[in-house]
Amino acid sequence: MMHDLQVIKSEEHNNNVKAAYNSSLKSCKNDIVIFVHQDVLLHDSFFTHLDHALDLLSDCPWAVLGVAGKTAKGTLSANVIDRGIPLVTKDFKPTEVQTLDELILIVNKTLTPALSFDENIPHHHLFGADLCLQAKRLGKKSYVIDAQCSHNSSLKSLPPCYHKSEAYIRLKWSDYLPIHATCSTIDREGIYT
Protein backbone atom coordinates (compact mmCIF):
# COMPACT_ATOMS: atom_id res chain seq x y z
CA MET A 1 0.00 0.00 0.00
CA MET A 2 1.23 3.48 -0.85
CA HIS A 3 1.49 5.78 2.15
CA ASP A 4 0.96 9.50 2.19
CA LEU A 5 3.64 10.33 4.73
CA GLN A 6 4.21 13.68 6.32
CA VAL A 7 7.60 13.93 8.03
CA ILE A 8 7.78 16.49 10.80
CA LYS A 9 11.11 17.41 12.33
CA SER A 10 10.94 19.49 15.47
CA GLU A 11 14.04 21.32 16.67
CA GLU A 12 12.40 23.96 18.85
CA HIS A 13 11.78 21.62 21.81
CA ASN A 14 15.22 20.00 22.09
CA ASN A 15 15.02 19.64 25.88
CA ASN A 16 11.50 18.20 26.07
CA VAL A 17 10.64 15.36 23.70
CA LYS A 18 7.04 15.36 24.98
CA ALA A 19 6.60 19.01 23.92
CA ALA A 20 8.09 18.21 20.51
CA TYR A 21 5.72 15.25 20.11
CA ASN A 22 2.71 17.37 21.11
CA SER A 23 3.69 20.03 18.60
CA SER A 24 3.99 17.37 15.89
CA LEU A 25 0.70 15.75 16.91
CA LYS A 26 -1.10 19.08 16.48
CA SER A 27 0.51 19.96 13.16
CA CYS A 28 0.27 16.53 11.50
CA LYS A 29 -2.56 16.29 8.97
CA ASN A 30 -2.75 12.48 9.06
CA ASP A 31 -5.08 10.48 11.31
CA ILE A 32 -2.35 8.03 12.29
CA VAL A 33 0.85 9.55 13.64
CA ILE A 34 4.04 7.53 14.15
CA PHE A 35 6.63 8.71 16.66
CA VAL A 36 10.03 7.07 16.26
CA HIS A 37 13.13 7.37 18.45
CA GLN A 38 16.27 8.60 16.75
CA ASP A 39 18.00 5.25 17.40
CA VAL A 40 15.35 3.12 15.66
CA LEU A 41 15.62 1.66 12.16
CA LEU A 42 12.34 0.69 10.48
CA HIS A 43 12.66 -2.52 8.47
CA ASP A 44 11.55 -2.61 4.82
CA SER A 45 8.46 -4.60 5.84
CA PHE A 46 7.42 -2.20 8.60
CA PHE A 47 4.58 -0.48 6.72
CA THR A 48 3.30 -3.74 5.22
CA HIS A 49 3.08 -5.21 8.72
CA LEU A 50 1.54 -2.02 10.07
CA ASP A 51 -1.18 -2.19 7.38
CA HIS A 52 -1.87 -5.81 8.31
CA ALA A 53 -2.13 -4.92 12.01
CA LEU A 54 -4.47 -2.03 11.23
CA ASP A 55 -6.69 -4.44 9.29
CA LEU A 56 -6.71 -6.88 12.22
CA LEU A 57 -7.59 -4.07 14.63
CA SER A 58 -10.14 -2.30 12.41
CA ASP A 59 -13.02 -3.14 14.78
CA CYS A 60 -11.07 -2.38 17.98
CA PRO A 61 -11.11 1.00 19.71
CA TRP A 62 -7.33 1.33 19.73
CA ALA A 63 -5.54 4.51 20.69
CA VAL A 64 -1.83 3.63 20.73
CA LEU A 65 0.23 0.92 19.02
CA GLY A 66 3.87 -0.01 19.47
CA VAL A 67 6.41 -2.80 19.06
CA ALA A 68 7.22 -3.48 22.73
CA GLY A 69 5.10 -3.33 25.86
CA LYS A 70 3.79 -5.20 28.86
CA THR A 71 0.36 -6.58 29.63
CA ALA A 72 -1.58 -5.79 32.81
CA LYS A 73 -0.17 -9.07 34.20
CA GLY A 74 3.41 -7.97 33.49
CA THR A 75 4.05 -10.20 30.47
CA LEU A 76 6.38 -8.73 27.86
CA SER A 77 5.08 -8.59 24.31
CA ALA A 78 7.60 -7.46 21.72
CA ASN A 79 8.74 -7.60 18.13
CA VAL A 80 11.97 -5.66 18.09
CA ILE A 81 15.66 -6.32 17.58
CA ASP A 82 17.29 -4.53 20.51
CA ARG A 83 21.05 -4.01 20.12
CA GLY A 84 21.17 -7.01 17.78
CA ILE A 85 19.18 -9.30 20.09
CA PRO A 86 15.72 -10.34 18.83
CA LEU A 87 12.95 -9.80 21.38
CA VAL A 88 10.08 -11.49 19.61
CA THR A 89 6.93 -12.99 21.09
CA LYS A 90 6.20 -16.37 19.49
CA ASP A 91 3.00 -16.85 17.43
CA PHE A 92 2.79 -13.09 17.15
CA LYS A 93 -0.54 -11.31 16.85
CA PRO A 94 -1.69 -7.90 18.09
CA THR A 95 -1.58 -8.10 21.87
CA GLU A 96 -3.40 -5.75 24.19
CA VAL A 97 -0.97 -4.21 26.67
CA GLN A 98 -1.12 -1.92 29.67
CA THR A 99 1.88 0.13 28.52
CA LEU A 100 4.15 0.61 25.51
CA ASP A 101 7.82 1.45 25.22
CA GLU A 102 8.60 4.86 23.73
CA LEU A 103 10.85 3.57 20.94
CA ILE A 104 7.84 3.58 18.58
CA LEU A 105 4.42 4.99 19.44
CA ILE A 106 1.64 5.02 16.83
CA VAL A 107 -1.26 7.28 17.80
CA ASN A 108 -4.79 7.14 16.39
CA LYS A 109 -5.87 10.80 16.31
CA THR A 110 -9.39 10.03 15.07
CA LEU A 111 -10.35 7.96 18.11
CA THR A 112 -8.41 9.90 20.71
CA PRO A 113 -8.23 13.60 19.85
CA ALA A 114 -7.89 14.40 23.56
CA LEU A 115 -4.71 12.34 23.91
CA SER A 116 -1.46 14.24 24.43
CA PHE A 117 2.00 13.67 25.85
CA ASP A 118 2.40 14.82 29.46
CA GLU A 119 5.11 17.47 29.24
CA ASN A 120 5.51 17.52 33.02
CA ILE A 121 6.97 14.02 33.28
CA PRO A 122 10.55 14.54 34.42
CA HIS A 123 13.19 13.45 31.92
CA HIS A 124 12.51 11.25 28.88
CA HIS A 125 11.13 8.09 30.46
CA LEU A 126 7.70 6.47 30.83
CA PHE A 127 5.76 8.91 28.64
CA GLY A 128 4.66 5.92 26.54
CA ALA A 129 3.24 4.26 29.65
CA ASP A 130 1.51 7.52 30.55
CA LEU A 131 -0.02 7.82 27.06
CA CYS A 132 -1.41 4.27 27.26
CA LEU A 133 -2.89 4.93 30.69
CA GLN A 134 -4.54 8.10 29.36
CA ALA A 135 -6.04 6.01 26.55
CA LYS A 136 -7.29 3.41 29.03
CA ARG A 137 -8.98 6.14 31.07
CA LEU A 138 -10.74 7.22 27.83
CA GLY A 139 -11.94 3.64 27.21
CA LYS A 140 -9.43 2.95 24.41
CA LYS A 141 -6.83 0.20 24.09
CA SER A 142 -3.11 -0.08 23.39
CA TYR A 143 -1.50 -2.94 21.46
CA VAL A 144 1.87 -4.35 20.52
CA ILE A 145 1.83 -5.19 16.83
CA ASP A 146 3.94 -7.27 14.47
CA ALA A 147 5.93 -4.50 12.76
CA GLN A 148 9.52 -5.29 13.56
CA CYS A 149 12.25 -2.68 13.80
CA SER A 150 15.79 -2.46 15.14
CA HIS A 151 16.55 -0.44 18.27
CA ASN A 152 20.16 0.61 18.75
CA SER A 153 19.89 1.93 22.27
CA SER A 154 23.06 2.62 24.21
CA LEU A 155 21.17 2.30 27.49
CA LYS A 156 22.33 -0.81 29.37
CA SER A 157 20.73 -0.10 32.74
CA LEU A 158 18.17 2.30 34.15
CA PRO A 159 19.70 5.73 34.80
CA PRO A 160 19.00 7.52 38.11
CA CYS A 161 16.70 9.99 36.33
CA TYR A 162 14.37 7.07 35.47
CA HIS A 163 13.32 6.95 39.13
CA LYS A 164 12.14 10.57 38.99
CA SER A 165 9.90 9.71 36.03
CA GLU A 166 8.73 6.61 37.89
CA ALA A 167 7.83 8.62 41.02
CA TYR A 168 5.78 11.04 38.91
CA ILE A 169 3.92 8.18 37.18
CA ARG A 170 3.31 6.40 40.49
CA LEU A 171 1.68 9.50 41.94
CA LYS A 172 -0.29 10.46 38.80
CA TRP A 173 -1.65 6.95 38.20
CA SER A 174 -1.96 5.69 41.79
CA ASP A 175 -5.43 4.25 41.02
CA TYR A 176 -3.91 2.08 38.26
CA LEU A 177 -1.07 0.47 40.23
CA PRO A 178 0.73 -1.78 39.63
CA ILE A 179 1.92 -0.37 36.33
CA HIS A 180 3.94 -2.76 34.21
CA ALA A 181 6.28 -0.62 32.11
CA THR A 182 8.69 -2.23 29.67
CA CYS A 183 11.72 -1.80 31.96
CA SER A 184 10.07 -2.04 35.37
CA THR A 185 6.99 -2.59 37.48
CA ILE A 186 5.77 0.39 39.47
CA ASP A 187 3.72 -0.28 42.59
CA ARG A 188 2.92 1.56 45.81
CA GLU A 189 6.22 0.60 47.41
CA GLY A 190 8.63 1.42 44.64
CA ILE A 191 10.06 0.08 41.44
CA TYR A 192 11.04 -3.44 40.52
CA THR A 193 13.05 -4.17 37.40
Nearest to 169 by CA among 137, 135, 128, 136: 128
Query: How would residue 28 be classed by pLDDT, with cut points 50, 70 and 90?
Result: confident
Nearest to 58 by CA among 143, 149, 147: 143
Segment 75-97, tens digit of pLDDT: 999 888 888 888 887 667 899 99
| Distance separating alpha carbons of residues 67 and 27, to the nearest angstrom | 24
pTM of the model: 0.91
pLDDT mean over 165-193 = 89
Nearest to 182 by CA among 86, 91, 66, 83: 66
Q: Tell me, what's the pLDDT at 29?
A: 86
Looking at the predicted structure, is the pLDDT value of residue 193 above 60? no
Helices of type H across the chain = 17-27, 46-56, 127-137, 160-172
Taking all residues of the chain, what is their mean pLDDT, rounded to a whole number?
87
| Distance separating alpha carbons of residues 28 and 38, to the nearest angstrom | 19
Q: Specify the DSSP class assigned to residue 120.
A: T
Q: Tell me, what's the pLDDT at 1?
A: 46
Q: Which domains does the chain have, with CATH numbers?
A: 17-157 (3.90.550.10)
